[in-house]
A and B are shown apart, each in its own frame.
Chain A
Amino acid sequence: MAIVSRFAFFLLWISVLSSTTHSELVISRIDRRVDLSSHIVRALFSLKVENVGSKVVSEVLLAFPNMQAKNLAAIKTLYNEGRGKVKASSVSLPTTVVEPEGMPPELTFYSVSLPKGLEKGGTVSLDILAIFTHSLQPFPEEITQADGQLVVYQDSAYYLSPYTVKVQTLGIRLPGGRVESYTKFPNAKLVDSEITYGPFENFPAFSYSPVIVHFENNYPFAVAHELVREIEISHWGNVQITEHYNLVHGGAKTKGGFSRLDYQARASVRGASSFNHLIFRLPPRAHSIYYRDEIGNISTSHFWGDSRKTQLEIEPRFPIFGGWKTSFTIGYGLPLQDFLFKVDGKRMLNITFGSPMDEVIVDNLIVKVVLPEGSNGISASVPFPTKQGEEIKYSHLDIVGRPVLVLEKSNVVPEHNLYFQVYYHFNNLSLLGEPVMLISGFFLLFVACIVYMHTDMSISKSSASYLAKIQLEEVQATVQQIQNIINQCLAVHDKLDASLRDLSRTGDVQSCKIARKTADAQLKELVKELKPLATFLHHSPQASHIWPKVEELVAKEKDMQDKMFLRHSTVVDCFEKKLGGREIENRIASQQQKLAAVRQEVDDLLEFLDEI
């Protein structure tokens, strides 16, 4: 193994250096716990530092070999107030990369700034959580479908530190499967899938002794090469989150074929290293969840939700074996009021940064916060360093585009799933912009339609066809008017009829006569109106085919008037002569029939004209 030999070389270097370093600090005790049960390595160092020098010291240096440092995703230092007993109030201390002089370049140093200087003889206890990604090397690098996945973890049995270490222990927690081998030390033992080394006492600074653990780890090595999270805010009440995953199985590559038969029959054995479902813990009240990829919807997903959390379990299209890739998109909506607040006139979005997926390493995370159109004064506060940028996104009905805040971070682990804040100004009136745009769009469309219907668009106003069209329209208008007049006449007739009926009921001859007089006057008026229209129609060449019908109609109507009055006078006469009901009926029966026939003809003619 090349790595081991490099470490040996290291050791040489360090032993040379160790003589030259001298420091005021001494680590009186360190307990290291390394958790290897998933593919993210979490190391917790509890250390007690003592100042044996004369100066006041305000910072503690932590050293990591570059090999480890490049995989270091997050480091967090907790400082415990009070002397070991009351650990309730722990304060997080700033931990930054430093490059102290005279230190070997193979090491990367982190400096922990103490809240107050450490006096001579004073001690301080610190808890340091370091999280490493890609630190489990699969060995062998290629396995078949049936094999379990074996990985190698390397560390130093002694804590690599620029300070002298008095007492130290190392515990390595394994996932519980087969342990192929581990570096044996006199006081190393394996109990219940936990390997403990130490305690070792009094080792000088930069002591190093490699420890290699080779064990089985079938934890889903889900690594997202790239994750683009798009958080889109709509002030209508929704935060839409879209996450594009580019997922790969980061474990041992699979070799040989994939047998579905074996996989189906004994998935836990023949396919132990693969994974086929992923769990997302979404914020509560997530809704409208979808899960799809470039070629469509993926139907294998399950979803539970209650008031405290929402859990989404998805299955990729195919089981992911070592080295296999897949990419997919999940999206969900969240209620706006849970995440958007108003802070001194500004809006503040408070939402988590990382992926909601369980135990995933994201090599490159891009978070895009899409703010509504018209927002300005955008600033972000993120609890860890990120690369920030801005771009513009065009969505539905956008004219100037929506401002997008882009945050980029590499090597992200679930511990980065912290809340971050985006502040911006937004005027609520801008909300109305898009509906108003839509409304005015439709309004303009209708206005255009109205204008089109009511304007004359013909180019040549003197062409024969244009004139003919105008004439035709006039003719039609006239016919319409004639129809109206005839209809009014018919209404008058009905009135007259009604008066007759009244007469038969009340016997009031006088009122009946008055009714007749008014009807007569009305009809005369109407006929007078009819005359110019009829003459116009008669002389219009366009109306030649309609004219006969109109003429007939007018004639019939006249006929009908005559018959009507005739009947009316007959009935009135009869009443005046006080004739019996039957007598009257007999007298007008024939008239009645003729009248009905004429009325029918008039109706038919009207209908015919209607259909032209």
Chain B
Amino acid sequence: MGAKAENGPKPPPPVSSPPPLKALVKLKTKQQELLIRAAALALIYVLAFAIRLFSVLRYESMIHEFDPYFNYRTTLFLTRNGFYEFWNWFDSESWYPLGRIIGGTLYPGLMVTAALIYRALRFLTFAVHIREVCVLTAPFFASNTTLVAYFFGKEIWDAGAGLVAAALIAICPGYISRSVAGSYDNEGVAIFALLFTFYLFVKAVNTGSLSWSLASAFGYFYMVSAWGGYVFIINLIPLYVLVLLVTGRYSMRLYVAYNCMYVLGMMLAMQIRFVGFQHVQSGEHMAAMGVFFLMQVFYFLYWVKGMLNDTKLFQSFLQITLTCAIGVGTLALGIGMASGYISPWTGRFYSLLDPTYAKDHIPIIASVSEHQPTAWSSFMFDFHILLILFPAGLYFCFKRLSDATIFIVMYGLTSMYFASVMVRLILVAAPAVCLISAIAISATIKNLTTLIRKKSKAALTVSSKATSNLKASAKALLDQSLPFQRNGAIAVLVGAFYLLSRYAIHCTWVTSEAYSSPSIVLAARGAHGGRVIFDDYREAYYWLRQNTPPDAKVMSWWDYGYQITAMGNRTVIVDNNTWNNTHIATVGRAMSSYEHEAYEIMQSLDVDYVLVVFGGLTGYSSDDINKFLWMVRIGGGVFPVIKEPDYLVNGEYRVDKGAAPKMLNCLMYKLSYYRFGEVTTEYGKPTGYDRARGVEIGNKDIKLEYLEEAFTTSNWIIRIYKVKPPKNRW
């Protein structure tokens, strides 16, 4: 606006000329503020990107973990073969012999985004590799999220809160954990899409404008295309609308915003093959539909109210209509459920509402560490002071209730609940926590500074009079206020800055130490303090890629499936897309059977190589022996031949001499410990001392009859065995 002011008639040159600099400062406070805000935002934007590059600095520009490898592989396919090929891709390299229809079983948002960025860069004549684009997609979107956080904060509170929110979310460890460079996963873009959709929706509710709600529908579409977490949006927004209706905040703005967003968003979402008609057929999406109809009833009632001037008549009409509407709604839902048209809630959804559900019913979900309930320490680790500021922010929100603050309060509370149910949902809570904390910080600091500035200004004005005799009157002015108020304010301000700087330090430390590891390459401190790199995963995958027949089938536990197909370029039996529990259970059964039984299973699956992860030599604890109980459990869930107690001794899981005989002779044990009995791992310990579990193994004399060792990596972390062809029968 300041710029516009210049276009107006120029004020005549001041007769008494004040110093020009001062005039500049005085004249353009607005512009100055804009400049500072823009500069701060730009710095935050860069910071959010830069802090996520720790992983590249510490390791290299590579794809991290498990799922990102699948995303990378599909993106590669997309850029090489085009969108239609990608959409119709039947992947025969995974889930052998079943295969997987990739186009219909994935959220394409991430891959399409990366491919578009890649195309754009290529168009601008930047010859980048698609891997670099994939590696940097998550930081790029994290940067964009800070912008959205700024605008969101501005919408619900003020520009200051927006800036603080942007700064907080830029370095919040809860968000960084899933968006470091290389973490090429759906969440990377989905959090941006989630916050953007929310922002646009709140904007639509605040303005009642069709264009904003249209934008939020498209935001929702992008979210649906990117991540399964869109279910959170499609349940939170109806819940929010319901709360507004109940608290008597119904307005035409809300009506326009919700209806447009829901109808258009739903139709757009149906374009994603993986989602399909779930919006009208699945139980998880029914709340949105119910609220949609409720809105129509509300609108109708308002209209009737306007027509009827008789309150009594209206009351009875209201009763009848409401009863009818609710009755019809429940009836429709009941019929839908009974006829199977509307599917009941899925296990994953149940496990969110009831944290104990997965443990009893879906071991495959419970077996994933990121699906465990959250510990207090990880809350503290991921949020640090935000955890304390969160309630304070809630207080400020309640103090100034508006449609927007109600939304952020609801988003904060629900996501906090989900975050405590599942570790990985801390990610969803992070933006809300940052926004609410930002309100707390911004409001507090604003109050404090106004307090201080008032005082200092009074003092300044007085002192500028410079006549010594005025001291008394100035003193009198000061004495009118509370004692020590100013000092107290300064002390609190200093404390706040101390806390914020601690937060910044904590975030940097967490990012560099905890969240930047690609988990493919392991790093440890050597005996002399030097950095030791264990690159065994890639060693093994590259060996598979180079030195096995191109059509070889590799059997491993499902965790490594995506990596083997992406890096090893070989067919796998099961992978991280755990869509077929029976198939996984078959692999689990093979791993927990005796060798000759397992051989039959492997023959039936055409397995050529078996890959196991073993950490006994290096002390790497997330290996297959530690995951073995889940294999038994999942295998036993489908094939009752496998009984968990057979592998336990007095309910205890052990691998030493006291282990159960079945345990000592099952395939997984044999493959992990084959010839390990001859190795001295630690000085002063007997041979075959397992450093990951701290015991001497129980079966040192392992003979393999149907398999032979094909390759073991330099630190023994990955061991690959070749399945021998069947013996000749004559």
| Interface size class, chain A | 35 or more
B-facing residues in A311-336 (Cβ within 8 Å): 317-318, 324-327
**B538 lies within 8 A of A296 (CB):** yes
Contacts of B533 in A (CB 8 A): 299
A316: nearest chain-B partner, CB-CB: B542
Please give, as numbers and ranges, the residues of chain A lying within 8 Å of B716 by CB-CB distance.
260
Query: A257 at interface (Cβ–Cβ under 8 A)?
Result: yes
Question: Contacts A257-B708, A525-B15: A297 and B465 contacting too (C-beta < 8 A)?
Answer: no
Cα–Cα, bound, A144→B343 (Å): 59
A606–B389 CA distance with the chains assembled, in angstroms: 33
A-B contact pairs, 11 of them (CB 8 A): A257-B708, A260-B716, A261-B678, A299-B533, A326-B546, A453-B3, A480-B8, A481-B5, A491-B16, A603-B457, A610-B30
**Which single member of B3, B62, B467, B713 contacts A296 (CB below 8 Å)?**
B62
Docked Cα-Cα span, A297 to B518, in Å, equals 13
B542: nearest residue on chain A (CB-CB)? Answer: A317
A453 to B18, CA, bound (A): 30
A488 pairs with B4, CB closer than 8 A: no
- Which of B5, B461, B469, B722 has a CB less than 8 Å from the CB of A257? B722
* C-alpha gap A401/B372 in the complex (Å): 53
Contact B712 A260 (CB under 8 A): yes
| A427 in the interface (beta carbon within 8 A) | no
A473, B62: Cα distance in complex, Å: 51
Mark B379-420 against chain A: 1 for CB-CB distance below 8 A, else 0.
000000000000000000000000000000000000000000
A603 B29 Cβ-Cβ under 8 A: no
Q: Other CB < 8 Å A-B pairs besides A585-B467, A585-B469, 10 of them?
A: A257-B710, A260-B709, A260-B716, A317-B539, A324-B546, A394-B125, A396-B125, A396-B126, A488-B18, A600-B457
Task: Evaluate contact between A478 and B567: CB separation under 8 angstroms.
Answer: no
A300 shortest CB reach to chain B, Å: 8
Q: Is the CB–CB distance between B543 and A398 below 8 Å?
A: no
Residues in A whose Cβ lies below 8 Å from that of B713: 260, 318
Inter-chain CA distance A257–B11, complex, in Å, is 91
Among the stretches A35-43, A90-98, A177-185, A591-599, the one at the interface with B is A591-599
Q: Are A529 and B12 in contact (CB under 8 A)?
A: yes
With an 8 A cutoff between CB atoms, is B198 at the interface?
A: no
Q: Are B470 and A317 in contact, with the CB atoms below 8 A?
A: no
Query: How far in angstroms is the closest Cβ of chain B from A323?
Result: 8
Neighbouring A residues of B714 by C-beta, 8 Å = 260, 264, 318
Asked if A495 and B127 make an inter-chain contact with CB atoms under 8 angstroms apart, the answer reads no
Q: Does B558 contact A (CB under 8 A)?
A: no
Say whether, besides A299-B535, A481-B8, A589 and B473 are in contact (CB < 8 Å).
Answer: yes
**8 A Cβ contacts from B539-578 to A:** 539, 541-543, 545-547, 567
Task: Please count how many residues in chain B sit with their CB below 8 Å of the partner chain's CB atoms.
Answer: 58
On whether the beta carbons of A484 and B11 are closer than 8 Å, the reply is yes
A610 touching B1 by the CB < 8 A rule? no
Q: Which of A259, A453, A478 has the most CB of B within 10 A?
A: A259
Q: Which residues of B contact A396 (CB under 8 A)?
A: 125-127
Can you name the residue of chain A whose Cβ is closest to the Cβ of B473? Answer: A593
A259 with B709: CB separation less than 8 A: yes
Smallest CB separation, B716 vs chain A (Å)? 6
Max chain A Cβ within 10 angstroms of own Cβ: one of B15, B60, B473, B539:
B15
Q: Mark B709-730, 1 if CB is under 8 A from A, else 0.
A: 1111110100000100000000
Query: Nearest-CB distance from B17 to chain A (Å)?
Result: 9
- The listed residue (A258, A487, A529, A593) touching B712 by CB distance below 8 A is A258
Tell me the dominant secondary structure on chain A's binding face: helix
B668-697 vs A, CB cutoff 8 Å, 1 = contact: the mask equals 000000010011000000000000000000
**Chain B residues in 8 Å Cβ range of A488:** 11, 14-16, 18
Q: Do the beta carbons of B18 and A610 come within 8 Å of each other?
A: no
B36 within 8 A of A: no
Instruction: Report which A residues bind B (CB closer than 8 A).
Output: 256-261, 264, 293-300, 317-318, 324-327, 394-399, 453, 473-474, 476-478, 480-481, 484-485, 487-488, 491-492, 495, 497, 501, 522, 525, 529, 585, 589, 592-593, 596, 599-600, 603, 610
Q: Which residues of A contact B29 (CB under 8 A)?
A: 610
Chain A nearest Cβ from B456, distance in angstroms:
12
Distance between Cα atoms of A327 and B722 in the complex (Å): 22
Query: How far is the CB of B470 from the nearest CB of chain A, in Å?
Result: 7
Choose one: B26, B60, B712; the contact of A259 (CB below 8 Å). Answer: B712
Q: Which residues of B contact A522 (CB under 8 A)?
A: 15-16
Query: Which of A295, A485, A497 is close to B567, meaning CB atoms less than 8 Å apart?
Result: A295
Is B458 interfacial (CB-CB < 8 Å)?
yes
Whether B263 sits at the interface, judged by CB under 8 Å, is no
CB–CB B125/A398 < 8 A: yes
Contact A497 B465 (CB under 8 A): yes
Q: Of A399, A525, A600, which is in contact with the most chain B CB atoms at under 10 Å from its CB?
A: A600
Q: Does B466 contact A (CB under 8 A)?
A: yes
How far in angstroms is the closest Cβ of chain B from A452? 12
Give the one of A260, A324, A501 with max B CB within 10 A.
A260
Check A487/B26 contact, CB under 8 A, given A397-B126, A592-B465.
yes
* A297, A399, A453, A485 interface centre (most CB from chain B within 10 Å): A297
B567: nearest chain-A partner, CB-CB: A295
Q: Does B112 contact A (CB under 8 A)?
A: no
Would you list which residues of chain B between 1 and 36 have a CB under 8 Å from chain A?
Answer: 1-5, 7-9, 11-12, 14-16, 18, 26-27, 29-30
User: In whole Å, how far is A202's beta carbon from the nearest beta carbon of chain B?
Assistant: 53
Among B27, B466, B541, B543, the most chain A Cβ lie within 10 Å of the Cβ of B543
Shortest CB–CB separation between residue A69 and chain B, in angstroms? Answer: 32
Chain A residues whose CB sits within 8 angstroms of the CB of B541 once the complex forms: 295
Partner of A481, one of B4, B11, B710: B11
Asked if B462 is at the interface of the complex by the 8 Å CB criterion, the answer is yes
Which residues of A sit under 8 angstroms from B547, Cβ to Cβ?
Answer: 324-325
Closest Cβ of chain A to B526, distance in Å, is: 13
Interface string of B456-487 (1 = CB under 8 A from A): 01100110011101100100000000000000
Partner of B542, one of A326, A476, A484, A585: A326
Question: Which of A295, A473, A501 is within 8 Å of B538, CB to CB?
Answer: A295
Docked pose: A21 CA to B75 CA in angstroms: 68
A317: chain B residues within 8 A (beta carbon):
535, 538-539, 542-543
B125 touches A399 (CB 8 A): yes
A326 to B708, CA, bound (A): 22
Nearest CB in chain B: distance from A224 CB, A: 14
For the complex formed, measure the closest distance between the CB of A277 and the CB atoms of chain B, giving whole angstroms. Answer: 13
* CB closest residue in chain A, given B679: A261
Distance of A257 Cα from B721 Cα, bound (Å) = 8
| Complex CA distance for A325 and B542, rounded to whole angstroms | 10
Chain B 593-631, CB-CB to A under 8 Å as 1, else 0, gives: 000000000000000000000000000000000000000
B538 neighbours in A (Cβ, 8 Å): 295-296, 317
Distance in angstroms from B547 CB to nearest chain A CB is: 5
Contact B469 A589 (CB under 8 A): yes
The 8 A CB mask of B485-516 against A (1 = contact, 0 = none) is 00000000000000000000000000000000
Q: Which residues of A contact B712 (CB under 8 A)?
A: 258-261
| A119 vs B461: C-alpha distance when bound (angstroms) | 118
Chain B residues, Cβ within 8 Å of A300? 535
B4 (CB) vs chain A CBs: closest residue: A473
The A-contacting residues of B in range 518-542, CB under 8 angstroms, are 520-521, 533, 535, 538-539, 541-542
Listed from nearest, the 7 A-B pairs whose CB atoms lie closest are A260-B712, A477-B8, A257-B709, A480-B5, A257-B708, A297-B60, A317-B539
Chain B nearest Cβ from A531, distance in angstroms = 14
Chain B residue nearest in CB terms to A293: B542
Interchain CA distance A441-B35 in the complex, whole Å: 23
B108-153 with Cβ < 8 A to chain A: 125-127
Docked CA distance A501–B11 (Å): 30
**Residues of chain A contacted by B14 (CB below 8 angstroms):** 488, 491
Question: What B residues does A295 contact at CB under 8 A?
Answer: 538, 541-542, 545, 567
Q: How far is the CA of A318 from the CA of B467 in the complex (A)?
A: 86
Minimum Cβ distance to chain A for residue B427 (Å): 26
A596 and B461: CB pair below 8 A?
yes
A-chain residues with CB within 8 Å of residue B545 when the two chains form the complex: 294-295
